[in-house]
Amino acid sequence: MTPPSSTGTTDAYPAPRLGQLTYYAILMITFLAASSAPTPLYRLYQTTWHFSATMLTLVFASYVFALLVALLVSGSLSDHIGRRPVVAGAIVGEILSLGVFFWADSLAWLMLARILQGIATGVVTSALAAAMLDSDHQRGPVMASIAPLFGMGIGALIAGILVTYAPAPLHLVYAFLAVALMVQGLLLGRIRESVTPRPGAWASLRPRAYIPPPVRGPLMRVVSAVISSWALGGFSLSLGPSLVETVSGIHNPLVGCLITFLLPCVGAISVLTLRAKPPRVAVLIGTGCLIVGMSVLLLGVHWRSVAVLLSGTAFAGIGFGAAFMGAMRTVMPLAPPTERSALMAAFYVICYLSASLLAMVGGVATQHMGLLPTTYVYGGVVAALSLIAFIGALTQRTTPRRCQACDSPA
């Protein structure tokens, strides 16, 4: 979900290239589908290898930490050596991680696979987002926001179906994704490069995260919306299937992954539907939906009703997409192009740490309190943070002045 950095090295196309945009969007969907594919298998891994909920969330967090480091280090690499070389390297790395998943026979190998996958996804994210913008400067940013969310949802759903109804539940989904990436890697050779290589590739690998002074105030007003939405995303990707199975009493990976499918997919739909709304309105809608959605979700847990739980998840999904989009569009126009990349690095540090650290806290709490009490507390924290952001957006009466030197927000 990372917007491309602003550079002067991209060769603008005389007209949108819909074929290339479609290719890069599908590739982004495949990468993020692979990132959520292990989620429906976590309960099976736990049963087979006998590890705790704390270790389960640590496996998820290892992916997020690796992704974050790779994103910080390689975020602008494709501006120097081109989109295709970075994408090609990431495809190779992702296939390697899927191979480790395929042959994994212990928790250590599972964690190694997640780390390799996090590195590959972190490297490719900004390059694919930039390539989509290169292909179509109008539809590219929208696709760059929707494709990752849709990919996470569809990946969990496909994995749940294969794990439930197909043979070799711990292997088939990874073989399927590896073949898909091999085909897409071959098609990459037919894609035109949109960047003229320039010096400075090694220097670009220096991690840089910075919040410009004009952005700090507006960011503080929306940061709780970012934390709450991504904390919910981290919980759904790590402990969500266990929660659904506990509430329903049905030990079925397809049923368990419904929460992982609904949250990002509904989020993608909300981004598409609300993309023309002002950022403040998007934050208000998003945080309001997060509050209502979490309340309904917790009622579903209390009543032991999967239907109510998933209804709350869907409503929270609207909030997830809208709050994230509104927060990003609140801060992005306030930074000049020369500081945009560093700001996005800092923004995504907040996002990914919210998803990983809070999910890990939830995993540890599950060991001591149990899954359902932890869910009540975790959901209450998400709702409280959303309420803080809602009140902040509601009481904001003036729109921050846009930086005169800035491009359009992603």
Which residue would you say has higher pLDDT here, 371 or 143?
Answer: 371
- Other beta carbons within 10 Å of 78: 32
- Contact criterion met (CB below 8 Å) for 274 and 142: no
- Rounded-to-integer distance, Cα 50 and Cα 311, Å: 32
Instruction: State both tokens at 117.
Output: 């996958």
Q: What percent of the chain has pLDDT over 90?
A: 57
Residue 195's SS3 state is: strand
- Contact criterion met (CB below 8 Å) for 195 and 5: no
- Contact criterion met (CB below 8 Å) for 244 and 367: no
Q: Work out the angle at residue 250's Cα, subtended by the Cα atoms of residues 319 and 296, and round it to the nearest 5 degrees.
A: 25
**Which residues partner with 10 through β-bridges?**
195
Residue 327's SS3 state is: helix
Residue range 152-171: average pLDDT?
Answer: 92
- Contact criterion met (CB below 8 Å) for 363 and 56: yes
Task: Please report, in angstroms and rounded to a whole number, the separation of the first and last CA atoms in the chain.
Answer: 10
Which residue would you say has higher pLDDT here, 91 or 217?
Answer: 91
- Rounded-to-integer distance, Cα 310 and Cα 329, Å: 28
Q: Is the pLDDT of residue 363 over 50?
A: yes
Q: What is the pLDDT of residues 387-408, one digit of tens each?
A: 999 999 998 765 445 444 444 4
Residue range 98-120: average pLDDT?
Answer: 96
> What does the pLDDT read at residue 185?
96
- Rounded-to-integer distance, Cα 59 and Cα 51, Å: 11
Q: Is the pLDDT of residue 381 over 70?
A: yes
**Which residues partner with 195 through β-bridges?**
10
Predicted structure pTM score: 0.85
> What does the pLDDT read at residue 74?
86
Taken in order of first residue, the domains within the chain and their CATH numbers are: 14-192 (1.20.1250.20), 209-397 (1.20.1250.20)
- Contact criterion met (CB below 8 Å) for 244 and 233: no
> What does the pLDDT read at residue 352?
87
Q: What is the pLDDT of residues 313-331, one digit of tens each?
A: 999 999 999 998 899 888 8
**Which of 135-139, 155-159, 285-289, 388-392 has the least mean pLDDT?**
135-139
Q: Is the pLDDT of residue 34 over 90?
A: yes
Residue range 297-320: average pLDDT?
Answer: 96
